[in-house]
Amino acid sequence: DVKVTQSSRYLVKRTGEKVFLECVQDMDHENMFWYRQDPGLGLRLIYFSYDVKMKEKGDIPEGYSVSREKKERFSLILESASTNQTSMYLCASSPSGGGQPQHFGDGTRLSIL
Amino acid sequence: AQSVTQLGSHVSVSEGALVLLRCNYSSSVPPYLFWYVQYPNQGLQLLLKYTSAATLVKGINGFEAEFKKSETSFHLTKPSAHMSDAAEYFCAVSASNTGNQFYFGTGTSLTVIP
């Protein structure tokens, strides 16, 4: 089974802090994704990556950056956390090729105080 | 461009009754379609997927969905609801010209009444 592991289930940080969310997958997938999930809004794509050291902006990249130094690891960075970034963050991975499903981690519930 | 509309943000059914969750998609090219389920405080789990083979797709936990191109729909059904089906359900679309980028609907919360 594919395993996507997010480093924290719950995280509490303060406004202005630099926050790192880590995601690791164990299936050698080329593609990795970061979403945020908010009630009534579904999943919104923040950033994705098709390869090591490669990144593409999703629909809501403002206030976020990402890093992919190794194929299995995709990090989401909040440069200066703000209260409107309080949300559930979901990481996913998939193999390349059309029609491949994305596999999700259990999510990180992030609260910014 | 691709998009998904899920009609009904909340659906309630009685235990043993038919479950019908609606999903309509928009895609300029042949789509790939997916249904995911999310239980509280968990990530999304794949229920089933349509990738241009059979139009009636069977998934896990007794769910199935039918791809209807003329109606641009991919509704999820289950003949008899179980209490354990209570969860949030998401429909998603991707296409060959968007790589593996998914577009998700806003979700439908299913309540099962005993």
Mean pLDDT lowest among A27-31, A57-61, A74-78, B49-53: B49-53
Mutation choice for B interface testing from A93, A104, A108, A110 by most B CBs within 10 A: A104
Residue with tokens 């164990």: A26
Mutation choice for B interface testing from A102, A108, A109 by most B CBs within 10 A: A102
Strand partners, B53: none
The verdict on A45 touching B (C-beta cutoff 8 Å) is yes
pLDDT at position B27 is 84
- By CB atoms closer than 10 A (0-12, 13-18, 19+), residue A56 is middle
Average pLDDT, chain A: 94
Mutation choice for B interface testing from A2, A37, A60 by most B CBs within 10 A: A37
CB contact under 8 A, A4 and B43: yes
Closest listed residue to residue A92, CA positions, set A26, A34, A12: A34
CB contact under 8 A, A107 and B43: yes
pLDDT classification of A45: cutoffs 50, 70, 90: very high
CB contact under 8 A, A90 and B44: yes
Average pLDDT, chain B: 92
Chain A: give the shortest CA distance to residue B108, in Å.
9
Question: In angstroms, what CA-CA distances link A46 with A32, B14, B34?
Answer: 11, 37, 20
pLDDT greater than 70 at residue B4: yes
Q: How far apart are CA B27 and CA B53, in angstroms?
A: 17
Strand partners, B73: B24, B68
pLDDT at position B97 is 67
The verdict on B3 touching A (C-beta cutoff 8 Å) is no
pLDDT at position B29 is 80
Q: How far apart are CA A104 and CA A107, in angstroms?
A: 8
pLDDT at position A36 is 96
Q: What is the mean pLDDT of residues B54-61?
A: 92
Q: Which of B9, B90, B99 sits opposite A43 (nearest CB)?
A: B90
Chain B: give the shortest CA distance to residue A17, in Å.
25
Half-sphere exposure of A16 (CA within 13 A, CB side): 0
Chain A: give the shortest CA distance to residue B109, in Å.
10
User: One-letter amino acid identity for B46?
Assistant: L
Structure confidence by residue, pLDDT tens digits, B73-114: 999 999 999 999 999 999 999 876 666 789 999 999 999 999
Q: What is the mean pLDDT of residues A62-91?
A: 97
pLDDT at position A20 is 97
> Residue A43 CA to chain centroid, in angstroms?
11
Structure confidence by residue, pLDDT tens digits, A12-30: 999 999 999 999 999 999 9
Closest listed residue to residue A90, CA positions, set A41, A17, A28: A41
Q: What percent of chain B has pLDDT over 70?
A: 96
pLDDT at position B99 is 65
Sequence length of chain B is 114
Q: Which residue has the higher pLDDT, A38 or A97?
A: A38
CB contact under 8 A, A48 and B101: yes
